[in-house]
Amino acid sequence: MAAQYLFRLDDACPWHDRARWHAVEQLFTDHDLHPLVAVIPDCKDPAFLKYPVDADFWARAKSWQEKGWTVALHGLEHIFHTHNRGLVPFNAYSEFAGMPLSEQEAKIELGYKLLVHHGLRPQVWVAPAHSFDRNTLLAINAKTPIRIISDGLSNQPFSRFGFSWIPQQLWRARELSRGVWTICLHPNEMTELDLSQLQAFLQDNRGACISWQDALASQSQLGKIRPYGLFDRLFSLLFLTLRRIKRYARPAGSHASPQT
Ligand SMILES: [Zn+2]
């Protein structure tokens, strides 16, 4: 199967770099492509509170949904309380992993209700810093109708712990030979060069880019999705090993890939 690309935009909340988010939105609109947007329900993260507040943010988020973008629940406050890596071991800090189930249920329920209160219909889970554990999944299962995770390492979607996982492996658009690849972008941090590279990628590969509604439609019947297995474990091991090698080889101060 030829490569297919999905795009995910992280850290949507009222505090953001308006010009950069607008530029990214324009690119996806120009290419008639519907990304996943990960929305923080009650942002308390100082990394975002430094931006001016956008009083119209929730109306704008609703307008994204109305034009076909898919909304993801991106934690609750985007504040890290534990040093637990969870199931996707990129970062040793988490808003959820390692916390008791009852606490996770309360946070997930509140986050989901806040997004619904703002008129959004979250269909996907995106953990801040990729860090979540089995209790997070139990909490999502108990408190929301969400059954799809955007995270994990493989080159194809898989089912695991009662959820459909659409893996997320890239933080910059690049051409690959085969598989389903989710490219996670952080619009607040994108430079002019990042934007022009994204535009070039979309121009050259629009036919291979799929909208999230299409991806979700193919993941809706959990019984038909390939279960997580040996191939995925090997993919994950190889990916994490290569990442470690690249990190050691990377010049000091350059951009780390899996962000929060
Ligand atoms: Zn985030």
Ligand 1 centroid, distance to 129 Cα (angstroms) = 6
Ligand 1 centroid, distance to 78 Cα (angstroms) = 6
Which pLDDT band, with edges at 50, 70 and 90, does 260 fall under? confident
Which one has a higher pLDDT value, 207 or 89? 207
**Which whole number is the average pLDDT over 212-229?**
83
Ligand 1 centroid, distance to 10 Cα (angstroms) = 5
Q: Nearest 5°: phi and psi at 43?
A: -60, 130
Ligand 1 centroid, distance to 1 Cα (angstroms) = 31
Ligand 1 centroid, distance to 94 Cα (angstroms) = 11
Confidence check: pLDDT of 85 > 60: yes
**Which whole number is the average pLDDT over 13-20?**
97
Element (H, E) at 72: strand 70-73
Tell me how many helices (H) and strands (E) the chain has: 8, 8
pTM: 0.94
Nearest to 87 by CA among 123, 42, 45, 140: 140
Confidence check: pLDDT of 255 > 50: no
Ligand 1 centroid, distance to 128 Cα (angstroms) = 4
Confidence check: pLDDT of 257 > 70: no
Ligand 1 centroid, distance to 249 Cα (angstroms) = 26
Confidence check: pLDDT of 188 > 50: yes
Ligand 1 centroid, distance to 186 Cα (angstroms) = 8
Query: b/e map of 159-197 (b: 16 or more CB within 10 Å)?
Result: bbeebbbbbbbbbebeeeeebbbbbbbbbbebeeebbee
Helix spans in the chain (H)? 18-30, 46-49, 57-66, 101-117, 134-143, 192-205, 212-219, 230-249
Confidence check: pLDDT of 62 > 70: yes
Q: Euclidean distance between the first and final Cα of the chain, in Å? A: 30
Report the pLDDT value the prediction gives residue 5, as an integer from 0 to 100.
97
Report the pLDDT value the prediction gives residue 221, as an integer from 0 to 100.
65
Ligand 1 centroid, distance to 14 Cα (angstroms) = 13
Work out the mean pLDDT of the chain and round it to a whole number: 93
Lowest mean pLDDT segment, chosen from 62-76, 100-114, 146-160, 215-229: 215-229
Which pLDDT band, with edges at 50, 70 and 90, does 220 fall under? low
- Cα 29 to its chain centre, rounded Å, is 19
Report the pLDDT value the prediction gives residue 118, as an integer from 0 to 100.
98
% of the chain with per-residue pLDDT over 70 = 94
Ligand 1 centroid, distance to 171 Cα (angstroms) = 13
Q: What is the pLDDT of residues 28-58, one digit of tens each?
A: 999 999 999 999 999 999 999 999 999 999 9
Q: What is the pLDDT of residues 104-132, one digit of tens each?
A: 999 999 999 999 999 999 999 999 999 99
Ligand 1 centroid, distance to 224 Cα (angstroms) = 30
Q: Nearest 5°: phi and psi at 216?
A: -65, -40
